């Protein structure tokens, strides 16, 4: 199995790409703040999953990287809140993206609580 086969990775990648497309419509003055930050945090979810999966034989490292992915996912949700409050996205899009991020968080938490199911040694 490869990290790209993980459901959580696939969902996180899809969300990051949706955010990229949607953030293209954000105002130019947000280029180096909200736009950059939401793209970075959403992409970091994927990179941390990939990095952690490669170190899954070391439970503490695996869980730490999954925790980092969860943290970046939460940061993405905060930026989505700002995007909604600034009226850059409609509530319907916010609800969809926030729901996807919440599901990603649940999957990451499941992995952190059950690392042995993903090839990690027992703690």
What is the tens place of the pLDDT at every residue in 9-57?
A: 999 999 999 999 999 999 999 999 999 999 999 999 999 999 999 999 9
Question: Contact, 94 vs 83, CB < 8 A?
Answer: yes
Query: Please, what is the Cα angle at 64 between 1 and 99, to 5 degrees?
Result: 75
Question: Contact, 76 vs 37, CB < 8 A?
Answer: no
Centroid of chain to Cα 69 = 6
Centroid of chain to Cα 67 = 11
Q: pTM of this prediction?
A: 0.95
Confidence grade of residue 121 (pLDDT, cut at 50, 70, 90): confident
Confidence at residue 123, expressed as pLDDT on a 0 to 100 scale: 59
Query: Domains plus CATH for the chain?
Result: 3-116 (1.20.1440.60)
Confidence grade of residue 120 (pLDDT, cut at 50, 70, 90): confident
Confidence grade of residue 106 (pLDDT, cut at 50, 70, 90): very high
pLDDT tens digits along 49-82: 999 999 999 999 999 999 999 999 999 999 999 9
Distances (CA, A) of 122 to 6, 61, 75, 117: 20, 13, 30, 9
Q: How many CB atoms lie within 10 A of CB 114?
A: 10
Confidence grade of residue 1 (pLDDT, cut at 50, 70, 90): confident
């Amino acid at each position: 199995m490869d990290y790209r086969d993980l459901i959580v990775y696939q969902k996180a990648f899809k969300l990051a790409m949706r955010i990229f497309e949607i953030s293209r419509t954000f105002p130019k003055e947000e280029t180096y703040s909200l736009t950059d930050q939401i793209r970075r945090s959403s992409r970091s979810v994927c990179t941390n999953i990939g990095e952690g999966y490669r170190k899954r034989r070391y439970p503490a490292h695996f869980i730490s990287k999954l925790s980092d992915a969860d943290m970046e996912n939460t940061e993405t949700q905060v930026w989505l809140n700002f995007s909604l409050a600034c009226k850059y996205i409609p509530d319907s899009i916010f609800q969809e993206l926030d729901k996807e991020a919440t599901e990603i968080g649940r999957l990451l938490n499941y992995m952190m609580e059950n690392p042995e199911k993903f090839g990690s040694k027992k703690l």
